[in-house]
Amino acid sequence: MNGRVALVTGASQGIGRACALELARRGASVALAARNVEKLEAVAAEIRAAGGTAQPFALDVASEASIKAGAKAVVDHFGKVEILVNNAGITRDILSMRMKRADWDDVLTTNLTGAFLLTQALMMQMIKNRWGRVINITSVVGELGQAGQANYAASKAGLIGLTKSLARELASRSITVNAVAPGYIETAMTAVLTDEQKGAMTQNIPLGRVGTDLDIAHAVAFLASEEAGYITGHTLDVNGGMHMA
């Protein structure tokens, strides 16, 4: 990936951080985007210490103005963006009968609308360059559903539909659009689950273990590579066998 420029949202921790580190390890210059710039600086320092190139950018995917300003700042700094990893996401878990409209809107705006707007802000440049990789981080929950996560599941299922639609629109310009659907991955987001919930989820994993952020990062790096140039509109399940489509 030498010479490629990647933008990873939600890069300050968890899956986003792992994706940024892996893309940098493979030679890409990485734009790190999130709301917490201080955490991004730490990730950038880690990449630079290993001989890579990285730059942090404050970007809130729940804000259209922030998305437009952030996309422009990244392009102004690096000159281009060829690989986009839409990873930033939030949860507001509660049963549907008790879910407030704000709980629904916040999750859909961040997880789905933000990914669309950022892709839209960068796709014209990819079209002009006739090369690009867009990788959306969805979830097994978007494929199976989950009680107490109607908003999150809807947003992640929406990302799968968005992935397929954009793949059809952009294919003629050698731009691939794919999704990665993690299963149960040890991250800060899943750390809030109770031991009982974790135990129940692990029992449903044929491989008998929870996943790591590196499991996802390796899948993302493959889809961003030249070797994956004939794959588009696909959702790659990385879930230990929880869901076999």
Residues involved in catalysis: 152
Give the H or E element holding residue 168. helix 150-170
Rounded CA separation 52/36 (Å): 21
Rounded CA separation 143/90 (Å): 17
Cβ neighbours of residue 222 under 8 Å, at least 6 residues apart?
Answer: 228
What end-to-end distance do the CA atoms of the chain give, in Å?
30
- Asked if 135 contacts 235 with a C-beta cutoff of 8 angstroms, the reply is no
Cβ density class 79-94: b for 16+ within 10 Å, e for less: ebbbbbbbbbbbbbbe
DSSP assignment string, 61-114: TT-HHHHHHHHHHHHHHHS---EEEE---------GGG--HHHHHHHHIIIIIH
- Asked if 135 contacts 84 with a C-beta cutoff of 8 angstroms, the reply is yes
Rounded CA separation 181/199 (Å): 21
Nearest in space to 81 (alpha carbons), one of 125, 22, 113: 125
